[in-house]
Amino acid sequence: MPRPFHIIFSVVAALLGVLVVGLPAAPPQETGANAVKKKQIVSTQKPAAALISKQDPAKLTPRVLDQITPDNAFILISLSKQRAWLMLQNEIAVDSPVSTGKKARQTPPGKFKITQKNKDHRSNLYGSFVDKKGRTVRSGVSSRIDSAPSGTRFVGSPMLYFQRLTNDGIGLHVGVLPGYPASHGCIRLPEEIARIFFEKTKLGTRVEIVN
Protein backbone atom coordinates (compact mmCIF):
# COMPACT_ATOMS: atom_id res chain seq x y z
CA MET A 1 0.00 0.00 0.00
CA PRO A 2 1.24 3.47 -0.72
CA ARG A 3 2.25 5.50 2.26
CA PRO A 4 -0.04 8.40 3.33
CA PHE A 5 2.46 11.12 2.39
CA HIS A 6 2.67 9.65 -1.12
CA ILE A 7 -1.12 9.96 -1.43
CA ILE A 8 -1.06 13.56 -0.20
CA PHE A 9 1.76 14.43 -2.59
CA SER A 10 -0.16 12.94 -5.54
CA VAL A 11 -3.33 14.92 -4.70
CA VAL A 12 -1.45 18.20 -4.35
CA ALA A 13 0.39 17.66 -7.65
CA ALA A 14 -2.88 16.94 -9.41
CA LEU A 15 -4.47 20.14 -8.04
CA LEU A 16 -1.49 22.24 -9.09
CA GLY A 17 -1.75 20.80 -12.59
CA VAL A 18 -5.41 21.87 -12.80
CA LEU A 19 -4.58 25.41 -11.58
CA VAL A 20 -1.75 25.82 -14.06
CA VAL A 21 -3.88 24.62 -16.95
CA GLY A 22 -6.68 27.01 -15.96
CA LEU A 23 -4.50 30.14 -15.95
CA PRO A 24 -4.81 32.38 -19.04
CA ALA A 25 -1.81 32.40 -21.28
CA ALA A 26 0.40 35.48 -21.08
CA PRO A 27 -0.02 37.76 -24.12
CA PRO A 28 2.74 37.38 -26.63
CA GLN A 29 5.31 40.16 -26.55
CA GLU A 30 5.54 42.09 -29.79
CA THR A 31 8.97 42.40 -31.23
CA GLY A 32 10.52 44.01 -34.27
CA ALA A 33 9.05 46.91 -36.25
CA ASN A 34 5.55 46.81 -34.70
CA ALA A 35 6.90 47.13 -31.16
CA VAL A 36 9.16 50.01 -32.11
CA LYS A 37 6.29 51.77 -33.91
CA LYS A 38 3.98 51.52 -30.90
CA LYS A 39 6.66 52.89 -28.58
CA GLN A 40 7.19 55.83 -30.93
CA ILE A 41 3.44 56.63 -31.00
CA VAL A 42 3.20 56.63 -27.20
CA SER A 43 6.34 58.74 -26.77
CA THR A 44 5.18 61.39 -29.28
CA GLN A 45 1.72 61.96 -27.80
CA LYS A 46 1.33 65.48 -26.37
CA PRO A 47 -1.19 67.12 -24.05
CA ALA A 48 -4.02 69.02 -25.74
CA ALA A 49 -2.59 72.43 -24.82
CA ALA A 50 0.64 71.60 -26.65
CA LEU A 51 -1.27 70.76 -29.82
CA ILE A 52 -2.61 74.30 -30.22
CA SER A 53 -0.43 75.73 -32.95
CA LYS A 54 0.72 79.32 -32.75
CA GLN A 55 -0.56 81.64 -35.42
CA ASP A 56 1.76 83.21 -37.94
CA PRO A 57 2.45 86.86 -37.09
CA ALA A 58 0.93 89.74 -38.99
CA LYS A 59 2.47 90.66 -42.33
CA LEU A 60 2.38 94.11 -43.92
CA THR A 61 2.97 94.96 -47.56
CA PRO A 62 4.14 98.60 -47.44
CA ARG A 63 3.72 99.20 -51.17
CA VAL A 64 0.03 98.28 -51.02
CA LEU A 65 -0.58 99.77 -47.58
CA ASP A 66 0.62 103.17 -48.80
CA GLN A 67 -2.10 103.12 -51.47
CA ILE A 68 -4.90 102.15 -49.06
CA THR A 69 -7.36 104.89 -48.10
CA PRO A 70 -10.73 104.75 -46.30
CA ASP A 71 -12.32 105.16 -49.74
CA ASN A 72 -10.79 102.08 -51.39
CA ALA A 73 -10.17 99.61 -48.54
CA PHE A 74 -12.18 96.55 -47.63
CA ILE A 75 -11.69 93.80 -45.05
CA LEU A 76 -11.86 90.04 -45.58
CA ILE A 77 -11.99 87.62 -42.62
CA SER A 78 -11.68 83.81 -42.70
CA LEU A 79 -13.16 81.90 -39.76
CA SER A 80 -11.46 78.61 -40.61
CA LYS A 81 -8.03 80.19 -41.14
CA GLN A 82 -8.41 82.67 -38.24
CA ARG A 83 -6.97 85.42 -40.43
CA ALA A 84 -8.05 88.90 -41.50
CA TRP A 85 -6.86 90.81 -44.54
CA LEU A 86 -6.99 94.53 -45.28
CA MET A 87 -7.41 94.59 -49.02
CA LEU A 88 -6.97 96.97 -51.95
CA GLN A 89 -8.96 95.30 -54.72
CA ASN A 90 -7.15 91.95 -55.11
CA GLU A 91 -3.97 92.97 -53.30
CA ILE A 92 -3.26 92.34 -49.63
CA ALA A 93 -2.06 95.29 -47.58
CA VAL A 94 -2.21 93.57 -44.17
CA ASP A 95 -2.45 89.86 -43.32
CA SER A 96 -3.18 89.35 -39.63
CA PRO A 97 -4.12 86.59 -37.18
CA VAL A 98 -7.46 86.98 -35.39
CA SER A 99 -9.55 85.25 -32.77
CA THR A 100 -13.24 84.99 -33.64
CA GLY A 101 -16.28 83.72 -31.72
CA LYS A 102 -16.10 80.47 -29.79
CA LYS A 103 -18.70 77.70 -30.13
CA ALA A 104 -21.11 79.24 -27.60
CA ARG A 105 -21.35 82.43 -29.69
CA GLN A 106 -19.81 82.11 -33.10
CA THR A 107 -18.96 84.97 -35.41
CA PRO A 108 -21.55 84.98 -38.20
CA PRO A 109 -20.35 84.73 -41.80
CA GLY A 110 -21.74 87.22 -44.27
CA LYS A 111 -21.32 90.65 -45.80
CA PHE A 112 -21.32 93.63 -43.44
CA LYS A 113 -20.49 97.33 -43.29
CA ILE A 114 -18.82 99.26 -40.50
CA THR A 115 -21.61 101.15 -38.72
CA GLN A 116 -19.73 102.62 -35.73
CA LYS A 117 -16.12 103.55 -34.96
CA ASN A 118 -14.96 104.19 -31.40
CA LYS A 119 -11.29 104.18 -30.44
CA ASP A 120 -11.99 103.87 -26.69
CA HIS A 121 -15.11 101.70 -26.75
CA ARG A 122 -16.16 99.53 -23.80
CA SER A 123 -18.47 96.54 -23.94
CA ASN A 124 -21.97 97.00 -22.52
CA LEU A 125 -22.37 93.22 -22.21
CA TYR A 126 -19.12 91.75 -20.84
CA GLY A 127 -16.83 93.09 -18.15
CA SER A 128 -16.32 93.18 -14.39
CA PHE A 129 -18.03 94.25 -11.19
CA VAL A 130 -15.89 96.80 -9.34
CA ASP A 131 -16.27 98.44 -5.93
CA LYS A 132 -16.29 102.17 -5.10
CA LYS A 133 -12.49 102.27 -5.16
CA GLY A 134 -12.33 100.71 -8.62
CA ARG A 135 -11.12 97.34 -7.36
CA THR A 136 -12.36 94.30 -9.32
CA VAL A 137 -14.71 92.14 -7.27
CA ARG A 138 -15.75 89.77 -10.08
CA SER A 139 -14.41 89.58 -13.62
CA GLY A 140 -15.68 87.85 -16.74
CA VAL A 141 -19.32 88.69 -16.02
CA SER A 142 -22.27 89.40 -18.30
CA SER A 143 -24.46 92.40 -17.60
CA ARG A 144 -27.44 90.43 -18.92
CA ILE A 145 -26.98 87.36 -16.73
CA ASP A 146 -24.97 88.19 -13.61
CA SER A 147 -26.17 90.27 -10.67
CA ALA A 148 -23.85 92.90 -9.25
CA PRO A 149 -22.85 92.28 -5.61
CA SER A 150 -23.92 95.00 -3.17
CA GLY A 151 -21.74 98.10 -3.41
CA THR A 152 -20.38 97.29 -6.88
CA ARG A 153 -21.04 98.50 -10.41
CA PHE A 154 -20.55 97.04 -13.86
CA VAL A 155 -17.57 98.20 -15.93
CA GLY A 156 -17.39 96.97 -19.51
CA SER A 157 -14.27 95.34 -20.93
CA PRO A 158 -12.13 97.67 -23.06
CA MET A 159 -12.51 97.14 -26.80
CA LEU A 160 -9.95 99.54 -28.27
CA TYR A 161 -10.30 100.59 -31.92
CA PHE A 162 -13.80 99.13 -32.00
CA GLN A 163 -15.57 98.94 -35.37
CA ARG A 164 -19.16 97.71 -35.16
CA LEU A 165 -20.57 95.29 -37.72
CA THR A 166 -23.91 94.21 -36.19
CA ASN A 167 -26.58 95.71 -33.96
CA ASP A 168 -25.99 93.04 -31.30
CA GLY A 169 -22.44 94.15 -30.61
CA ILE A 170 -20.20 92.18 -32.96
CA GLY A 171 -17.25 94.11 -34.34
CA LEU A 172 -13.49 94.32 -34.73
CA HIS A 173 -11.31 95.43 -31.81
CA VAL A 174 -8.08 94.82 -29.88
CA GLY A 175 -8.07 91.55 -27.94
CA VAL A 176 -6.21 88.45 -26.80
CA LEU A 177 -5.32 85.94 -29.53
CA PRO A 178 -4.81 82.47 -28.00
CA GLY A 179 -4.53 80.75 -31.38
CA TYR A 180 -8.14 79.59 -31.71
CA PRO A 181 -11.71 81.04 -31.65
CA ALA A 182 -12.21 82.42 -28.12
CA SER A 183 -14.29 85.60 -28.27
CA HIS A 184 -18.00 86.25 -27.64
CA GLY A 185 -18.49 86.78 -31.36
CA CYS A 186 -16.23 89.74 -32.08
CA ILE A 187 -13.10 89.64 -34.22
CA ARG A 188 -10.06 90.23 -32.01
CA LEU A 189 -6.94 91.77 -33.52
CA PRO A 190 -3.42 92.63 -32.32
CA GLU A 191 -3.36 96.25 -31.13
CA GLU A 192 -1.12 97.63 -33.88
CA ILE A 193 -3.18 95.88 -36.58
CA ALA A 194 -6.47 97.05 -35.06
CA ARG A 195 -5.12 100.60 -35.19
CA ILE A 196 -4.22 100.27 -38.88
CA PHE A 197 -7.62 98.77 -39.71
CA PHE A 198 -9.26 101.63 -37.78
CA GLU A 199 -7.29 104.35 -39.55
CA LYS A 200 -7.63 102.87 -43.04
CA THR A 201 -11.41 102.40 -42.98
CA LYS A 202 -14.54 104.53 -42.49
CA LEU A 203 -18.25 104.18 -41.78
CA GLY A 204 -19.63 102.08 -44.61
CA THR A 205 -16.40 100.18 -45.36
CA ARG A 206 -17.23 96.68 -46.59
CA VAL A 207 -16.32 93.70 -44.37
CA GLU A 208 -16.82 90.16 -45.65
CA ILE A 209 -16.63 87.18 -43.27
CA VAL A 210 -16.27 83.73 -44.86
CA ASN A 211 -16.06 80.25 -43.40
pTM for the complete prediction? 0.68
139-179 pLDDT, tens per residue?
Answer: 776 767 788 888 888 777 778 999 999 998 899 999 999 99
Element (H, E) at 38: helix 33-44
Selected residue with higher pLDDT from 17 and 183: 183
Selected residue with higher pLDDT from 89 and 130: 89
What is the reported pLDDT for 39? 47
Residue 42 has pLDDT above 50, yes or no: no
Query: Mean per-residue pLDDT for 204-211?
Result: 97
Q: Delineate the domains of the chain, giving CATH numbers in brackets.
A: 53-210 (2.40.440.10)
114-140 pLDDT, tens per residue?
Answer: 999 999 977 766 767 788 888 887 877
Residue 90 has pLDDT above 70, yes or no: yes
Task: Report percent pLDDT > 70 for the chain.
Answer: 73
Element (H, E) at 159: strand 153-164
Closest C-alpha among 138, 129, 143, 136 to residue 184: 143
Contact between 181 and 109 under an 8 Å Cβ cutoff? The reply is no
Contact between 173 and 193 under an 8 Å Cβ cutoff? The reply is no
